[in-house]
Structure 1
Amino acid sequence: MSERREVKLGPAQETMLIPLYGRAVEARKEQPMLSDAKAVEIVDSLDYDFAKFDGNRSLAGAVLRGMIFDGWVSEFLGEHPGGTVVEIGAGLNTRFERLDNGACHWVELDLPDSMELRRQFFEPTDRRAMVAGSVTDADWLGAVREHPGPYFFVAEAVLPYVPREGCEAAIGFIRDQFPGSPVAFDTAGAAMLDRIDNHNEAKLMSARFLWPCNDPSELESWGLRLLDSRTVAEPQPAVQAALPLAFRAQLSALALAPQVRTYRLNLFTT
C-alpha cells in the first residue's frame, strides 16, 4: 500500500471527515444507502483515526443528509441540465461524481487547507472549478460568474460553523449578484446546540455550531424565501424510495430524537 496522506485541517474543516467516513462505511455494506467508491478510496488513503467514529449511529444520518441535499440538486439539474452547482464548503464530498450529467458545471469552494487536501483526490476540468477561499469573502463570486447560469448554491454542514453575521453576509452576496437562485443549507435549533456536547461525533471534535436557528423561516429577513425544510428523518419521496427497506423502517423512530427534530435541512430562493 502506498504511504498514507497526512491530514492537517482546522477544527471546523476536520468535520468534513465525518460524512466522508459515513459514505465509506455505507459503501462497504451489502445493501448501502449510497454507493461511493471514491469515499472508500479516500478513507483508505488518509492517515487518520477514522475508527473513533465506529459505532456512532449519526454516521448514517450524515449520509442521509447528503442524499437529501443531492435530491434538491438533482431536481435543479433535471430542469437546468447545463446550469451551475456551487458547492460551498465542498470538503471531501463526491457530489459531482454522484450527480454529474455530462453537461452541468460545478464550482467547489473551501478554505485553503481543505482545498489543498481536496486537490489531492480531485482535479478541475473545463466544467469543474476548485476555489480556495472563504464564503464570507466575496472574492469567490468571480469564479462562479465564469460558468453559465442558472445557479444552485448548496452549503451542507458549513454555515452553522460560521458566525451568524458572516452567514448573513454570504447570503447577501448570493442574493445581490445571483437573484432568483436556489440556496440550500442546514440550520440547528437552540436545543441541538445545548445538546451538542453529548452528540456522538461532536464529542470527538473541537468545532461547535456557532448560532441557533429555531425556525428557518426567520432567515427570510436575509432576503430569502423558504421553499422546503426537512429533518434527516423526512427525505423527499424519491430519496426515501431509494433507501434500503430496513433503513426506511427506522425513519419514524429517528424522527423522535431531539437532535433530529431541531436540525433542519432547508431549501431557499433568493
Structure 2
Amino acid sequence: MAEKRSVQLGTVQETLLLPLYGRARQTRSGRWGLIHDPKAVDMVETLDYDFDRFREGGSAAGSVLRTVMFDAWARAFLRRNPAGTIVEIGAGLNTRFERIDNGTAHWVELDLPDSMALRREFFSESPRRRMAEGSVLGDEWFATVREFPGPYLFVTEGVLFYLDRTEVEHSLRRMAEAFPGARFAFDLCGNRTIDMQHRRGPLRHVDARLAWACENPREFERCGLRLLDSQTILDLPRRVRLPLPLHLAIAVAGPLLARFSPQHSFNLYEAPERRDP
C-alpha cells in the first residue's frame, strides 16, 4: 500500500476536504452519482485524513450539487469563449480542469499557501494552466491572470462567507474594476445556515464557522456587479442533469426542503464593460 500523504491545513482551509470527499463518494456511486471524478477518489485514498466524519447526513452531496451548478456555468462560458480564462479562487483540491477543460481554455488556480502546497502534490502546471498562491482579499495575483487572455470567469466556491464581509465587498469591487466584462460565480448562505451550522450540515465536522449571511444576492450589486442568475438546490433539476432518484426526491420533497433546509444560493454576476472617456 502506498504511503499516505499528511494534511496540514488551517481551520478554514480544512473545509476543502469536504467537497473532495463528496465528489469521491458520488463517483463511487456509479451511474447514480452526481459527478464522475476518479481523481477525487485517488486523492481521498491517498490522504491521511479521517474522511469518515463526513459520512453522516447530506453535507457531502450538498457540496457536490454546488459544484455541478458551477460546472454548468463554466461549460456555458467555455462554449461562448473557448479560449477564455477561468480563475478558480480557493481552488483547494478541485478538479474542474480535469473534468471540463476543452483543450483551448486557460486556467488560473488560486489558494492560500498551505492549500496550494497540498494542491501541488496532485496537480501540475502547463502552458494553459497556472497555480498561484494568494487570497481573494489581495490583488498580487491579478498579474498572473492578465498573462492569459479574456474574457474571464472567476469561480469562488465555499469561500467568501468565512471572511470579513466588508473586505469581501471591497475585493469584489476591485476585481470588477480590474477585469471589466468578467463574470463572477460564488455562493452565499442565509441566516438559517448560520443558525444551524453548529447542529447540522458539514460545518459540524470541522472548526471553521461562517462569518456572515446574505439573504438577497442583489446586495452584491453595490460592488459593481450585475446579477445574471441565482439558483438554489431546488432549482437544479431544471438547470442541470441529475440522477433520476435525486431529481424525483427534490421534486417531491421540495416544499419541505424550502421550509426547513439551510439556505444556500449559487449566483452568477457580470462586471460592467469599461467605458472609454
**What TM-score results when the alignment is normalised by the length of structure 2?**
0.93
Aligned length: 268
Tell me what 1:70 maps to: 71
Distance 1:16 1:40 in 2: 14
Tell me what 1:191 maps to: 192
The verdict on how the C-alpha distance between 1:189 and 1:138 changes in structure 2, with shifts beyond 3 A counting, is same
Tell me what 2:126 maps to: 125
Residues 26-45 of structure 1 mapped to structure 2, 5 A cutoff: 26-31=26-31, 32-45=33-46
Unaligned runs of 5+ residues in structure 1 are: none
The verdict on how the C-alpha distance between 1:238 and 1:191 changes in structure 2, with shifts beyond 3 A counting, is closer
After TM superposition, give the deviation of residue 111 of structure 1 in Å.
0.3
Distance 1:165 1:81 in 2: 34
Residues 235-246 of structure 1 mapped to structure 2, 5 A cutoff: 235=236, 237-239=238-240, 242-246=241-245
After TM superposition, give the deviation of residue 199 of structure 1 in Å.
2.0
Q: Does 1:218 align with 2:223?
A: no
SS in 1 for 2:56: coil
After TM superposition, give the deviation of residue 55 of structure 1 in Å.
2.8
The verdict on how the C-alpha distance between 1:230 and 1:54 changes in structure 2, with shifts beyond 3 A counting, is same
Which 10-residue stretch deviates more, 89-98 or 55-64?
A: 55-64
User: In 2, are the aligned partners of 1:255 and 1:261 still within 8 Å (CA)?
Assistant: no
Tell me what 1:24 maps to: 24
The verdict on how the C-alpha distance between 1:153 and 1:40 changes in structure 2, with shifts beyond 3 A counting, is same
Distance 1:17 1:259 in 2: 26
Distance 1:131 1:256 in 2: 42
User: In 1, are the aligned partners of 2:137 and 2:167 still within 8 Å (CA)?
Assistant: yes
Deviations 1:79-112 (A, max 9, x none): 0000000000000000111110000000000000
Give the counterpart letter for 2:250 in structure 1.
L
Give the counterpart letter for 2:91 in structure 1.
A
Tell me what 1:249 maps to: 248
Distance 1:221 1:212 in 2: 16
After TM superposition, give the deviation of residue 204 of structure 1 in Å.
1.1
User: In 2, are the aligned partners of 1:151 and 1:181 still within 8 Å (CA)?
Assistant: yes
Distance 1:214 1:259 in 2: 15
User: In 2, are the aligned partners of 1:156 and 1:185 still within 8 Å (CA)?
Assistant: yes
User: In 2, are the aligned partners of 1:6 and 1:47 still within 8 Å (CA)?
Assistant: yes
After TM superposition, give the deviation of residue 61 of structure 1 in Å.
1.2
Distance 1:259 1:268 in 2: 27
Distance 1:114 1:41 in 2: 18
Distance 2:127 2:175 in 1: 23
Distance 2:261 2:126 in 1: 37
Deviations 1:171-202 (A, max 9, x none): 12211110111100011112211111112321
Tell me what 2:178 maps to: 177
Tell me what 1:91 maps to: 92
Distance 2:93 2:50 in 1: 16
Which 10-residue stretch deviates more, 168-177 or 39-48?
A: 168-177
SS in 2 for 1:65: helix
User: In 2, are the aligned partners of 1:88 and 1:154 still within 8 Å (CA)?
Assistant: yes
Tell me what 2:201 maps to: 200
| Aligned-residue identity in percent | 47
Tell me what 1:15 maps to: 15
Tell me what 2:274 maps to: none
Give the counterpart letter for 1:246 in structure 2.
P
Tell me what 2:275 maps to: none
Unaligned runs of 5+ residues in structure 2 are: 272-277
Tell me what 1:154 maps to: 155
User: In 1, are the aligned partners of 2:191 and 2:213 still within 8 Å (CA)?
Assistant: yes
Deviations 1:41-69 (A, max 9, x none): 00000000001111321211111110000
The verdict on how the C-alpha distance between 1:259 and 1:110 changes in structure 2, with shifts beyond 3 A counting, is farther
Which 10-residue stretch deviates more, 17-26 or 193-202?
A: 193-202
After TM superposition, give the deviation of residue 250 of structure 1 in Å.
1.4
User: In 1, are the aligned partners of 2:192 and 2:262 still within 8 Å (CA)?
Assistant: no
The RMSD of aligned alpha carbons is 1.4
